[in-house]
Amino acid sequence: MKIEDVVCSFCGCLCDDLVVEVEGTRVISVENGCTLASEKFLGDHRLKTPIRRDGNSWTKISYDEAIAETAEILLDADRPLLYGWSGTFGEAQSVGVHLAEILGAVIDNTSTVCHGPSILAIQEVGHPGCTLGQVKNRADVVVYWGANPVDAHPRHMSRYTTYCDGFFRKDAFKDRKVIVVDVRDTESSILADEFVKVNPGGDYAVLSALRAIVRGKRGIIPPEVEGVSREQLFRVADICMSAKFGAVFFGVGLTMAPGKNKNIRNAIEFTEELSRHTKFTISPMRGHWNVYGSNEVFTWISGYPYAVDFARGIAFYNPGETTSVDILKRGECDACLVVASDPGAHFPKECAEHLARIPTVQIDPHVNVTTHLSRIQIPVAVAGIDAEGTAYRMDGVPIRTRKLFQGQYPDDFEVLEKIYAIVKEAKG
Amino acid sequence: MRVILKTRPRAKPKIPIEAEEIIPQNFLRKNDIRVYEGNKERALDDLFFVTYEGPAVSPDQVEIVLTGDTGVIKRVGEYMNAGRIIIEGDIGMHCGNFMSAGEILIRGNADAWLGREMRGGHILCEGNSGHYCAAGYRGEKRGMRGGIVEVRGNSGDFTAEYLSGGEVIIHGDCGDLPGVEMRGGTLVIGGDCSRPCGNMTGGTCMIFGEAHKFLPTFRKNGTDDIVYAGKHYLMNLFRGDVANRGKGTLMVRQ
């Protein structure tokens, strides 16, 4: 059976035009998807049943046993950490926040290793953003800063920017100018009209220089700023100022470079400065599928988008203190529940070592690096394939994903609801 | 009155303790002081051996001495408005948050957010301080507003972020972006630092070591012979941050 208009559940683009062919409980083919989407839909490394570590081997256990033991581990902890959430849908994330509140836990999502600094900057100076539809239909200048969409968001350029005609951009490839700023040549920089190669860690200075130029202070700029010539800086500023509608997209190359949130703040203030001359917007290239949704859901319930500490019964937020990497590195938490993420593959070594020392439970469809650090793993349905729910695209547009077939696994929501029920009963 | 708080051994020593009630005024009447260990509320006695020596009739006469494994204790001295706290070793995050008067002496190192949004009083750290020393909370437009924070060792990144008043003196090196978003007050860096005073709009920063990766948006404004701590120094003067129409003063030793 062929299903049309399927929403991809890999990156933050949430492409909603996939055609997926399903046979029973297997995906046979994927059309319109990028390589990443095909891997996601066709991948077949799912864990069959819940497992528990038993010395150096694994024992198969029932869902009820796994859920009961997970609840027990979390109830015994003095500083539990609930991490992940970006690979699942909003309904499950919501249960997660309520579970954290009742446990007095810290709950954090993958923003902590991607666009957390963007959120900090937005909290300082706001977010002059727009939807991807606006960019597609209007933008004549697109800047990718510290982002490599060809590799990380393969359809971003073809659906929204370089190769996509829009209502006011009838011949997008010729109409739009693309500027790529990065520390190295990439697949995306090859496609740029203007490639600005910045010294590693030099983004902040380049952004400051561009702001000064747009403010009319060209005379202050030295001949070279962090590997970029003054002439190129002037040229980039002129391209941006002469745009009818410009859009900046930034990636983890900017958020995780030295200066972190201050880089993003500088980029936002550059955008605001440009908006004194023309219309300019700025948006993060969110990577994990529903990471934007996790920020939304956390904020609805707790007031904060990530790194929320409920230890005192009220929500406290302070990235650097309550972010999972920092908590794990300091060895603070004494139990961890990982949902829809793989911190074992992405976190620093000492964090992974601490995850292995404490009772870690993973709720995830697949065997991954975190499996090897965990005490229990509970397999679930894959959001957007055999589980349905709401996810947010990188520009904040909510999109409902569908269940393509009825599989054998419970989804994240069902498993978390059962854990929550046990914890609630124990807490009274 | 002298109050000595010595930490008791704990089964999970890395779980942080939140102890914002450890301030002199709370010990005057020997209130029922509560602290948090992770998500558990504890009595002070559960986590500390507590000894009282001598009387006091006002918070000014109360001196608290913290000893033992104090590096994971957060928020000590929060909203302190009188008296003295002596920490014999290291101290955790947020020491001296919002303090308005009194004195904190840290004989070891201080973790991040030392003197966050402080209004007055004096903090002396004899070791190093972490990131965001004398800075503001996330999203706040003003950091430290008054008082003195002095660090004898080095300080981490984002020192004196959003500094709005008072004086921050770092005798050693600073990390990246000290004085970022600074709008008032004085920041003194005895050693080296990187990218000082990005986006500053006001205040004065003096750097007596090397300023690495100096930002291109500061306008050279001549030199000046200044006297600091009884010594003469020839300083290069800069105004900025021009990217932000800033009118701050940045001085770097020649």
Please check whether residues A153 and A131 belong to one and the same domain: yes
Please give the C-alpha separations between residue A51 and each of A62, A326, A372, in angstroms, as whole numbers.
8, 28, 11
Q: Does B162 touch chain A (CB under 8 A)?
A: no
Pick the last residue of a domain from A259, A284, A309. A284
**Any domain includes A389:** no
Q: Which residue reads 């046993």 in tokens?
A: A65
* A37 DSSP β-pair partners: none
Q: Kindly state whether residue A397 falls inside one of the protein's structural domains.
A: no
pLDDT tens column, B92-127: 999 999 999 999 999 999 999 999 999 999 999 999
The secondary structure of chain A in percent helix, strand, coil, rounded to multiples of 5, reads 40, 20, 40
- Which of B15, B74, B177, B180 should we substitute to test contact with A (largest number of A Cβ atoms within 10 Å)? B15
Residue B43: is its pLDDT beyond 80? yes
A275 and A321 in a single domain? The answer is no
Q: Which helix (H) or strand (E) holds A155?
A: none
Within an 8 Å CB–CB cutoff, is residue B135 touching chain A?
no
Phi-psi map region of B134: left, alpha, beta (phi>0 left; psi -120 to 50 alpha)? left
pLDDT band of B246, cuts 50, 70, 90: confident
Q: Do residues A225 and A183 both lie within one domain?
A: yes
Whether residue A77 sits in one domain with residue A207? no
Distance CA(A146)–CA(A161), nearest Å, equals 16
**Is A396 domain-assigned?**
no
Domain for residue A36, yes or no? no
Which chain B residues are closer than 8 Å to A201 by Cβ?
Answer: 213
Pairwise CA distance, residues A35 & A213, whole Å: 41
Please state whether A313 falls in left (phi above 0), alpha (psi between -120 and 50) or beta: left
List the single residue in A201, A205, A311 with the smallest CB-CB distance to B215. A205
A212 and B139 within 8 Å at the Cβ level: the answer is no
Domain span at residue A328?
Answer: 48-113+289-383+409-427
In this structure, are A211 and A298 located in the same domain?
A: no
**Does a structural domain hold residue A185?**
yes
The domain ranges of chain B are: 1-108, 124-254
Q: Hey, is the C-beta of B199 within 8 angstroms of any chain A C-beta?
A: yes
The 10s digit of each residue's pLDDT in B126-153 is 999 999 999 999 988 899 999 999 999 9
| Residue of chain B nearest A199, judged by CA positions | B213
Nearest CA among B196, B232, B242, B130 for reference residue A318: B130
Contact across the interface for A220 and B37, Cβ inside 8 Å: no
Q: Is B234 on the interface with A (CB under 8 A)?
A: no
A123 neighbourhood in chain B, CB within 8 Å = 138-139
List chain A residues with CB under 8 Å of B131. 320
Q: Choose the final residue of a domain: A284, A316, A340.
A: A284
| Nearest-CA distance A2 → chain B (Å) | 49
Give kind and range of the element (H or E) at residue A349.
helix A349-357
Q: What total number of domains does chain A contain?
A: 2
* B18 vs A contacts (CB less than 8 Å): 311-312
* pLDDT of amino acid B32: 87
Q: Cβ distance B112 to B130 under 8 Å?
A: yes
CATH of residue A81: 3.40.50.740
A40 close to A9: Cβ distance less than 8 angstroms: yes
Nearest Cα residue to A107 out of A350, A302, A368, A366: A302
- Among B37, B39, B113, the strongest candidate for a mutation testing the A interface, having the largest count of A CBs within 10 A, is B39
Give the nearest chain A residue to B19 (CA atoms).
A312
pLDDT per position as a tens digit, A79-103: 999 999 999 999 999 999 999 999 9
> How far off is chain A from B166, nearest CA to CA, in Å?
22
First to last CA, chain A: 48
Q: Considering only alpha carbons, which residue of chain B is nearest residue A74?
A: B39
Residue A229 at interface with chain B, using a CB cutoff of 8 Å: no
Does A301 lie in the same domain as A253? no
Residue A89 to residue A411: CA distance in whole angstroms:
10
Nearest to B198 among A78, A201, A262 (CB): A262
Q: Is B131 on the interface with A (CB under 8 A)?
A: yes
Domain membership of residue A20 (yes or no) is no
> A326 preceded by cis ω (within 30°)?
no
The angle that helices A90-103 and A412-427 make with each other, rounded to 10 degrees, is 20
A408 close to B (CB below 8 A):
no
Bridge-based pairing state of the strands B48-53 and B73-74? unpaired
Both A126 and A88 in one domain: the answer is no
Cα dihedral across residues B35, B12, B73, B86: positive or negative = positive
A205 in contact with chain B, both atoms CB, cutoff 8 A: yes
Which residues of chain A, if any, have pLDDT below 50?
Answer: none
Going by the DSSP 8-state scheme, the letter that residue A288 receives in this structure is: B
Contacts of B242 in chain A (CB under 8 A): 212, 215, 217, 220
Smallest CA–CA distance, residue A7 to chain B, in Å, is: 35
Residues in chain A with CB shorter than 8 Å from the CB of B219 are 220
User: CATH no. for residue A212?
Assistant: 3.40.228.10
Q: What is the pLDDT of residue B160?
A: 97
Q: Are residues A423 and A299 in the same domain?
A: yes
* Contact between chains at B36 and A311 (C-beta distance less than 8 A): yes
Regarding whether A241 and A123 lie in a shared domain, the answer is yes
CA trace torsion A400, A405, A409, A415 (10° rounding):
20
Alpha carbon of B40: minimum distance to chain A alpha carbons (Å): 7
Q: Are the Cβ atoms of A205 and B219 closer than 8 angstroms?
A: no
Spatial contact of B143 and B125, defined as CB atoms under 8 Å apart = no
- B113 close contact with A: CB closer than 8 A: yes
Domain boundary among A263, A284, A305: A284
Residues A203, A85, single domain; the answer is no
For residue B1, name the pLDDT band (cuts at 50, 70, 90): very high
Q: How do residues B77-90 score in pLDDT, each as one tens digit?
A: 999 999 999 999 99
Residue B31: is its pLDDT beyond 80? no
In this predicted structure, what is the pLDDT of residue A300?
95
Q: What is the mean pLDDT of residues B58-84?
A: 97
Name the residue of chain B whose CA is nearest to A320's CA.
B112
A residues 274-333 closer than 8 Å to B (CB) = 310-312, 317-321, 330-332
Selecting from B93, B219, B242 the residue whose C-beta is nearest the C-beta of A321 gives: B93
Provide the ipTM: 0.94
Q: Say whether both A242 and A329 belong to one domain.
A: no
Interface of A with B in 71-130 (CB under 8 A): 77-80, 103-105, 120, 123-124
Decide if pLDDT at B29 tops 90: no
| CA distance linking residue B1 with residue B27, whole number of Å | 9
User: Least CA distance to B36: which residue of chain A?
Assistant: A312
| pLDDT tens-digit series, residues A361-414 | 999 999 999 999 999 999 999 999 999 999 999 999 999 999 999 999 999 999
Instruction: Indicate if the pLDDT at residue B227 is higher than 90.
Output: yes
Domain contains A14: no
| Nearest residue, CB atoms, A120 vs list B37, B138, B199 | B138
* A-interface mutation test, from B94, B114, B138, most A Cβ less than 10 A away: B138
Tens digit of each residue's pLDDT (9 = 90 or more) over B148-201: 999 999 999 999 999 999 999 999 999 999 999 999 999 999 999 999 999 999
Whether the pLDDT of residue B207 is over 90: the answer is: yes
Judged by a CB distance cut-off of 8 A, whether residue B232 touches chain A is no
Inform me whether the C-beta atom of residue A224 falls under 8 Å from chain B C-beta atoms: no
